[in-house]
Structure 1
Amino acid sequence: MSAPQTMEERFMAEVAAGLGRRARRPPFEVTMASKIYFVVPAYQAANPAAAGGCASTVTLGPGAANSTSGSATAGTSIPQALDDIRAAYPAKAFVAGHLINADLGGSGVVATNLTALTSAANSAHKNFDNQIKYALNALRQTYQYLFDRGVDITPLTFGIHVSVETSGDYWGDDYPDSCITTQLNCEADLVNVLDLDELVDNAEHRRTAQQLVDQVTAYVDAANQTDTVPNA
């Protein structure tokens, strides 16, 4: 007995069979599955390598709103210096902090997306991450609204570029201080913003779509209010 087909497999089978006289659009969830990343996460190793990573980037699509592509920190991937940092500064409760958050697709199983953060800094970083999560939910709602009104969303690449870097300055010159960044620098930008005049003919629908785009913009602007996270 063959395995059950996925939604995407069923759709492609119907297309191949030529069912129906009219061309069908892929189901919304199938399209979302192809729009998790417009540019996949990229991680740059720190120097010294024992510090973990120094720069991570990703361009997120609306499918990232419900994605489980990221991963939690694994014991085998934490920056090599972390144990020594914890021993030197036990009161700071250092953790292996994600540069790109796991809920945004960031890996926790590669050290180059992790850096030593105090517990306070790791919590403060969430002020940036949470606004991006809200923005992704609004982005998905925008695509859903357009899809429900017959717009072909397949070619659209309206998304959010996220960049998180360590500052390049460290707590000190000697190990393990040389592996502790003084702060994170965070930035988010909209990419390929929709031309709604081109996409949507109905004026009322266009106004509503613009309100949704404005909501995405507002969340990204709010995220950028936390453009620096002191690691103290």
Structure 2
Amino acid sequence: MTLRKVRKGPAGQNYQPPVRPPGSRKTEREAPVSFGPGPSQADPDERVPKRRRLEANSEHDATAPRVHRPSLEHWLDNLAVSKELPDYTGKSDPAAGSAEIEVILGPKSDRGGANDANPRLPSGITSARNTYEGKCKFIAGHMLNSDLGGDGKDWKNMTILTSQANADMRGYEANLKKAVYYLNQLYKALLKAAPDNKALKTWSDSGCGIQVTVKTVGQWGREPPDSYICKHVVMKAKVVKDKGLNFSGMSGLDNGTREDLKGVLALVKLYAAQATGSIPNSKPGPAWR
């Protein structure tokens, strides 16, 4: 006859193993039962002698922290040129809207988003709609497109446009957005090609971007609401502060990479030039009266 060894619990009580329901399967290893104070199963450090724990912590503290490299997008966001705000110049009027706006667009200036235009700005647009009802449709037009940072809720960024002038202006804005897109690609390509190059840092810190000027010209007439409506909107765009971009002087770039970078810069300048022009904001002729 074989005697079964009985495990003793506290106060000499017999230990009873946990009972599983019939038919159940053992899916994980059951933790041993503790009969008294001891090291916690959840904290392995409690099973390590105090002296060894102190030595381990001392070595860990002496280790230099890992260097966090900012992402490419984070780097672009923090360039000074990416934080440029529009400068409203000229004699603006809440009823007529903006007279002129200037801004330098950077590689992250096209942020997209929905049209935020307040249809009642500038304030003179209501009078214009009432006067030319059935003859001409007026749009609350952005001087600087909302995707590029223009505020559609600020009358200083708005002007009164005919529907045709607004449609024509979209074509210029599309070319301007393409210029910003290729400027973004140029910055990224430069950083990847020569991340530690001093010439690159000097160039990027200089604020190379696309300078944009938009201004209204003339008036439909001397009396309101004609005095609130311009005859033309003139937009000018050009690449500025790119003189320090000397591809030939950048170390670590092969000839193929230099030619590629020059090609991207040429596209920036091409689309900036195509975003330059005069947009007529024509008054209805005598046949409409």
TM range (shorter): 0.7 to 0.9
Partner of 1:10: none
Q: Compute the displacement of 1:182 (Å).
A: 0.5
1:223 maps onto 2:272 in alignment:
no
**TM-score, normalised via structure 2 length:** 0.66
Match of 1:199 among 250, 254, 265: 250
Q: Output aligned runs, 1:1-232, within 5 Å.
A: 18-20=65-67, 25-35=69-79, 37=82, 39-44=84-89, 46-65=91-110, 67-68=111-112, 72-75=116-119, 78-90=121-133, 91-152=135-196, 155=202, 156=204, 157-167=207-217, 169-193=218-242, 194-199=245-250, 201-224=253-276, 227-232=277-282
Which deviates more from structure 2 when the two are superposed, residues 123-132 or residues 24-33? 24-33
The separation in 2 between residues aligned to 1:214 and 1:25, in whole angstroms, is 31
Deviations 1:89-145 (A, max 9, x none): 123210110011111111111101101000000110112111010011111111111
Q: Greater CA radius of gyration, 1 or 2? A: 2
Deviations 1:135-157 (A, max 9, x none): 11111111111122233555512
Return the structure number with greater helix share: 1
Unaligned runs of 5+ in 1: 1-16
The separation in 1 between residues aligned to 2:260 and 2:86, in whole angstroms, is 32
Deviations 1:136-188 (A, max 9, x none): 11111111111222335555122101110001x10001111010000101100
Count of aligned positions:
208
The separation in 2 between residues aligned to 1:220 and 1:108, in whole angstroms, is 23
Q: Compute the displacement of 1:218 (Å).
A: 1.1
* Paired letter, 1:160: I
Which deviates more from structure 2 when the two are superposed, residues 96-105 or residues 153-162? 153-162
Unaligned runs of 5+ in 2: 1-63, 283-289
Return the structure number with greater strand share: 1
Return structure 1 stretches of 4+ with deviation > 4 angstroms.
45-48, 68-71, 152-155
